[in-house]
Amino acid sequence: MHSRAGIVLAGGFARRFGDRDKTLAEFRGRPLIVHAVEPLRAVVERVVVSCRREQRPAFEPVLSDVEYRPDPTPDAGPLAGLDAALEGLEAETVAVTSADRPLVPAGLYRSLLDSLSKEGVVIRADGIDQPVPAVFETRALRRAVTEQRSNGTRRLRAVLDALDCTTLDGETITRQWGEDVLADVNTQADLDRLEE
């Protein structure tokens, strides 16, 4: 059993980004998805990318040593993608992120992993517990995802309601790792701002 695994959620359609796949948008010379995978790879034994089936051929040339778990139902929401990624995953703990957070360093994942004492560790930013980047006990996360999906929930944040998580202060995180460490890219303007 792998004791630590990582999941990158990459299957969203990102309609606000325009007519191209934002996970492949260039950021500092490499696709966003690469910026999400590489820091995880430094701290876990196994990385799983949850994506749409049609994304995989575009990901394979830029990503190596990852497993792909296609969303069984495209556009079913991030919770469905997480559920697919968890299927068959043998790991005690799992770090979860999204492909649109290019500035999360390996050191932050290490801090999250080291802080795990309950069912999960999340960051509270702007008064809201963030489901990514975060670390969870795999068994507890799987239970919470199953529970929320059976209720018809699609939102990733809903799993946090079903878990006993340690909360880290977002201001402390940004002081240590940089103001934009938790920034996500939703639009081309977001990406351009981070490039500055």
pTM value?
A: 0.94
Predicted confidence at residue 1, as pLDDT, reads: 44
Predicted confidence at residue 76, as pLDDT, reads: 82
Question: What residue spans define the domains of the chain?
Answer: 2-195
Q: Which pairs with CB-CB distance under 8 Å and at least 24 residues apart come from 109-115?
A: 109/6, 109/39, 109/40, 109/42, 109/43, 109/44, 109/133, 109/135, 110/43, 111/168, 112/168, 113/4, 113/43, 115/166, 115/168
Cα distance between the two ends of the chain? 42
| C-alpha 90, offset from chain centre | 18
Q: CA 180 to CA 174: how far, in whole Å?
A: 7
Predicted confidence at residue 11, as pLDDT, reads: 81
One digit per residue, the tens of pLDDT, for the chain of length 196 reads: 459 999 999 987 656 666 778 899 999 999 999 999 999 999 999 999 999 999 999 999 999 899 999 988 877 889 999 999 999 899 999 999 999 999 999 999 999 999 999 999 999 999 999 999 999 999 999 999 999 999 999 899 999 999 999 999 999 999 999 999 999 998 888 898 998 8
In one letter, which amino acid is 160?
A: L
Residues annotated within a binding site for Mg(2+):
100
Q: Please, which residues have CB within 8 angstroms of residue 190's CB and are 6 or more apart in sequence?
A: 183, 184
Residues annotated within a binding site for GTP:
9-11, 22, 65, 100
Query: What 3-state class would DSSP assign to 32?
Result: helix
Residues annotated within a binding site:
9-11, 22, 65, 100
**99 and 50 in contact (C-beta within 8 Å)?**
no
> What homologous superfamily does CATH list for 2-195?
Spore Coat Polysaccharide Biosynthesis Protein SpsA; Chain A (3.90.550.10)
| C-alpha 166, offset from chain centre | 18
